Amino acid sequence: MRTFIHIIIIIYSIMNSPLCLLASSSPPVYTYKIIKAYPHDQDAFTEGLVFENGDLFESTGIKGRSTIRQVNLEDGKILSLHKLEHVFFGEGITIYKDRIIQLTYQSHLGFVYNKKTLKPIGKFNYPTQGWGITSDGQQLIMSDGTSKLYFLDPETFKLLRWVEVHTDKGPVSGLNELEYIQGEIFANVYPTERIVKIAPQTGEVTGWINLEGILNEQNPIRPGCSLNGIAYDAEKNKIFVTGKFYPKVFEIEILPMSGGADGIRTRDLLRDRETP
């Protein structure tokens, strides 16, 4: 009888857990072209970024310095700002209807804000760390720094399903800030200068975007700099990227790169971190 029960438990676990099936081939690699650079608060430890109606909404991290803010894209000026309590480390944000949803790093607590005023109107809990979050308009999609993406009900925050992000070589870890763009999930991969494109249904990587060198001599790197922040203007089909302590927000065009993904090794991406 015990053996039978164990078999049932194993079958149930398999049916309710996504299998990490390896992709059949290496995903393509893309490079970029900078279309335009906009000013960005270089003291902002950017953890979340989203675009709507000409403005950026940004979440910044570090305990005691974490904020959620509305920023004018053209001149970088802060239009409105809400400071988090000093015990919270702000993380990813997304817009859902008339609300902004923000994660925190290790507090297992998320906040809901009125989009127009940035006033807190709710909160919710989750069992993992909070790194990045986006929405496809029907679900919230959340990362926790592992290779997993979690799909949540945007009204109840109940977990609906999860996928493991993978290539033909195995899982891809370090998934950070997220953006939903034309049916795919774009994710910063910490601590690299790369973005990964992901098929939402399967978790399969459909492409790598190599942004190495986006900060040059005119935009020097300072300690703590890290690529993190993807925003999308769906109306004009524009993609914006920035990072922690970056002096600029860059509008980029994604271009094909000759060659494959041989230089991008999965094991290089399997790294732990202290501050997402």
CATH number at residue 108: 2.120.10.30
In-domain check, residue 168: yes
Instruction: Give the C-alpha distances (Å, rounded to integers) separating 153 from 70, 149, 177, 245, 276.
Output: 25, 14, 19, 32, 24
Q: Is there a contact between 202 and 195 (Cβ–Cβ < 8 Å)?
A: no
In-domain check, residue 193: yes
In-domain check, residue 273: no
In-domain check, residue 124: yes
How do residues 226-262 score in pLDDT, each as one tens digit? 999 999 999 999 999 999 999 999 999 999 986 544 4
pTM of the full structure: 0.87
How do residues 148-163 score in pLDDT, each as one tens digit? 999 999 999 999 999 9
How do residues 182-231 score in pLDDT, each as one tens digit? 999 999 999 999 999 999 999 999 999 999 999 986 676 778 899 999 99
In-domain check, residue 9: no
Q: Is there a contact between 93 and 103 (Cβ–Cβ < 8 Å)?
A: yes
Give the side-chain half-sphere CA count within 13 A for 70.
Answer: 15
In-domain check, residue 96: yes
In the chain, the number of structural domains is 1
Q: Which domain holds residue 166?
A: 23-259
In-domain check, residue 269: no
In-domain check, residue 2: no
Diameter of the chain by CA atoms? 71
The strand pairing partners of 33, in sequence order, are 253
